[in-house]
Amino acid sequence: MKKIAVLGGGSWGTALSKVLCENGHDVKVWLRDEAQCNDIRKTRINNKYLPNVILPSNLYFTTDMGEALGDSEIIINVIPTQNIRKVFEKIPKQFIKSKIIINCSKGIELGTHYLISDIIKEESIDCVYVILSGPSHAEELGRGLVTAATVASESEEAAKTAQDIFMTSYFRVYTSKDVKGVELGGALKNIIALGAGISDGVGYGDNAKAALMTRGILEISRLGTCFGAELSTFQGLSGVGDLIATCTSQHSRNRNAGFLIGQGLKKDEAIEKIGMVVEGITTTYAAYELAKENNIDMPITYAMHDILENSADVKETVTKLMLREKKEE
């Protein structure tokens, strides 16, 4: 049994906490909202983010960061990317010194263009970093539906520890050493998922979405390998696997936000209607800047940025993509 603190009480944090608790670990979940915390304690359901999933009676929820982290051996980060630094800056360093921190969020920090591994290493002392990513919607994992994911770390021992605490008969976890590849695959696929949703919202068919996903994984690979990731990682669960799930699932907030934009809503209106963080929007801006700075050819990302930032007409943008200079695949 491990003592585990989970930072973040959204849908994904709740689903992962349920898995860990059912695996026999002592799990404490930290969340900000006192009313939400009290409601979960009373009903044993996260009605705001993961309704209809009954949580174990011994899964503990608190708004006291010290209580959650005090005796923890492992920390699970499920805080939205753009808020991670703000939260970690406020944590007393003795609570996170030399601990395994398993990041389960996806994205790139705006401004710095830092990956989450960079943020956490900068804001902690001697932590051992692990990333978990893959095609894994909280709504399905929370119900015990078969799911697979990848954990990556520079420490083989830490990766195997993460694999051990999460593995169940319905949640299969593989290990990897390619931290950057797993992180970038999980972050960048959200851009393509936004595009897939926009395509569906406008009324394009399966042909268009298949082309978008196929060319999208190529763009992800281009940026990833530029920053030292392994090409093979993008062919696995945290690459093409996550891309497929996020582009096609009814549970995907990025795909659903894109659908609303394709139907005519502005990005802020789509975010408000989704009611949760849409990481693909901020990631589009970060990836666009990275691609420009490093002269990386990412036409889909450029097109998505034009739609989000300049409210470019979707059909005209697609026509421009289709009529680019002819080339071999």
Active site residues: 189
Is residue 31 helix, strand or coil? coil
Half-sphere exposure of 260 (CA within 13 A, CB side): 20
- Three-state SS letters, 196-241: HHHHHHHCCCHHHHHHHHHHHHHHHHHHHHHCCCCHHHHHCHHHHH
Query: From its phi and psi, is residue 275 left (phi > 0), alpha (psi between -120 and 50) or beta?
Result: left
In angstroms, the CA 267 to CA 172 distance is 35
Sorted by sequence, the CB contacts under 8 Å of residue 8 that are 6+ apart come out as: 29, 30, 31, 77, 78, 79, 80, 105
What's the DSSP call for residue 50? Answer: B
Q: Please answer whether residues 297 and 221 qualify as being in contact, where contact means their C-beta atoms are separated by less than 8 angstroms.
A: no
Local structure of 150: helix, strand or coil: strand
Residue 42 vs residues 35, 37, 39, 60, 159: alpha-carbon distances, Å: 11, 9, 5, 11, 35
Q: Residue 129: what are its φ and ψ, rounded to 5°?
A: -95, 135
